[in-house]
Amino acid sequence: MASRATSAFVLICAGLAFAPIAWGGEAAKDGGPAAQARDVRGWLMRIHDAASRRNFQGTFVVSSGGNVASARMSHFCDGANQYERIESLDGKARNVFRHNDVVHTVWPASRVAVVEQSQLLTSFPALLQAGDDRIGDFYEVKPQGSDRVAGHEANVLVVQPRDQNRFGYRLWSDKASGLLLRADVVNERSEVLETSAFSDVTIGIRAQPETVLLPMKRLDGYRVIRPMLKPTQEP
């Protein structure tokens, strides 16, 4: 569950912003497409920045196809360093510890630890900031008022694909911090296929990097696997 919760959180906070997106509904102040694009870029960057720069801790739940799984997630930012700890709450015990781009996935019962590097977290900002002249080709984005998630006031954004080849999304972002609190994946009939959400979360906690670094150093007695990953390039 830990890896699934991590994937859902990271892909929605970061990966969704890979796609070109533009506002629907009312135009921005200067009325032009460039201003509309800046509005959405700023909204998505706020979500991404909150996920990477805010200290928070909570229970993250993923519900899909009648299955529900949860994990306890902590994220700390200390200067330029990021730390993350995720503990599965269902099924076999599994913990994920991340310090910047180094990730340890640990199975205590079988005494196995996988040590690898994550490229997704560091690749997102460059891709988003690079811009795209085709913004609006694939999605229409509409603000949909406000709601409450896990006790926090949230802005709601609807992301609608312009064709039948993509899923749509509904996003709930904390008004105060920008942190993504909930994300629904929906089909063309607006039926919810998957929901990823915090059931409880505290934002602005004290950074505790030692709760991540110490377990990453304590691998004595574990079978440590270090996958060799090769970067791929488009032909």
Residue 152 lies in a domain: no
Give the CATH number, domain containing residue 212: 2.50.20
Considering the entire predicted model, what is its pTM?
0.78
The secondary element (H helix, E strand) that includes residue 10 is: helix 2-13
Rounded to whole angstroms, the Cα distance separating 180 from 198 reads 9
Residue 129 lies in a domain: yes
Q: pLDDT tens for residues 95-115? A: 999 999 999 999 999 999 999
Enclosing domain of residue 21: 2-137+205-225
Domain count, the chain: 1
Question: What does the pLDDT profile of the chain (235 residues) look like in tens digits?
Answer: 444 444 445 444 444 433 333 334 444 445 555 665 566 667 777 887 888 899 999 999 999 999 999 999 999 999 999 999 999 999 999 999 999 999 999 999 999 999 999 764 443 333 334 344 454 567 787 888 999 999 999 999 888 888 888 888 899 999 999 999 999 999 999 899 999 999 999 999 999 999 999 999 999 999 999 987 665 554 4
The secondary element (H helix, E strand) that includes residue 11 is: helix 2-13
Longest dimension (CA), the chain: 62
Residue 196 lies in a domain: no
Q: Check: CB of residue 181 under 8 Å from CB of residue 207.
A: no
Residue 214 lies in a domain: yes
